[in-house]
Amino acid sequence: MPSRRPGLGACPSNQKTTEVIVLRRRVPLRRSASLRRAVPLPRGLPPQRRVPVRKIRSRPRRGPDRSAEYLAWIRTLGCVVCSRVSGAATVVEAAHTNALGPRGIGQKTSDFSAIPLCSAHHRENLDSYHLLGEKKFSHTHGIDLHGLVPELQSRFWRQYAPRSSAVHPVEM
């Protein structure tokens, strides 16, 4: 009887043994020509990164009008729902509305359509602008957005037009 040595994995006598033949290449595989560089990189230096050059806009940007000054002014006003102003616990935010017209998919409306809302009425409460939607929000709180937005714009232009660098929006 043959001796069994541990670790060699001897087969039980009722199973057939299978012989595996491993073929080895005598010549190592060569890389294709596209992977090899014509000129090898110098040792110790990282390869140069080719970044496309950003073109300067020849035409003015498309899309809704933007004005950081107008948004900053909107944030100084009180919330149109509860009249709270920015203070210690209250933050008034500029909420973009669709009062001036519809927006494109994935696009905010013009900054000139923003109204002042406290963070609770903008995003957090159950009766907030983002949870109810524009129509239901204006109906619930009795706010005429289509009348309020032009009124806010005219107040801004009367107060800040001479010293503002904001571009007056196109009337629709």
Question: pLDDT digit string (tens) for 88-116?
Answer: 777 889 998 888 777 767 777 888 889 99
Q: 33 forms bridges with which residues in the sheet?
A: none
Cα 167 to chain centroid, rounded: 25
Q: How far apart are CA 74 and CA 152, in angstroms?
A: 8
Q: Bigger pLDDT: 30 or 15?
A: 15
Q: Where are the domains of the chain?
A: 68-97+106-160
Range 44-49 average pLDDT:
66
Q: How far apart are CA 167 and CA 161, in angstroms?
A: 9
Asked if the model's pLDDT at residue 9 lies above 70, the reply is no
pLDDT band of 172, cuts 50, 70, 90 = very low
Range 38-43 average pLDDT:
64
Kind and range of the H or E run holding 117:
strand 114-118
Comparing CA positions, the residue from 69, 75, 77, 80 lying closest to residue 165 is: 69
Asked if the model's pLDDT at residue 35 lies above 60, the reply is no
Task: Quote the pLDDT of residue 157.
Answer: 87
**Residue 114 φ then ψ, to 5°:** -80, 150
Task: Quote the pLDDT of residue 117.
Answer: 92
Q: How far is CA 99 from CA 17, 40, 135, in A?
A: 82, 62, 10
What are the residue ranges of helices labelled H in the chain?
Answer: 68-76, 119, 129-132, 134-141, 145-160
Range 54-75 average pLDDT:
78
Asked if the model's pLDDT at residue 130 lies above 80, the reply is yes
Average pLDDT, the chain: 76
Asked if the model's pLDDT at residue 34 lies above 70, the reply is no
**Residue 93 φ then ψ, to 5°:** -115, 155
Q: Report the SS3 class of residue 93.
A: strand
Comparing CA positions, the residue from 115, 124, 128 lying closest to residue 75 is: 115
pLDDT band of 42, cuts 50, 70, 90 = low
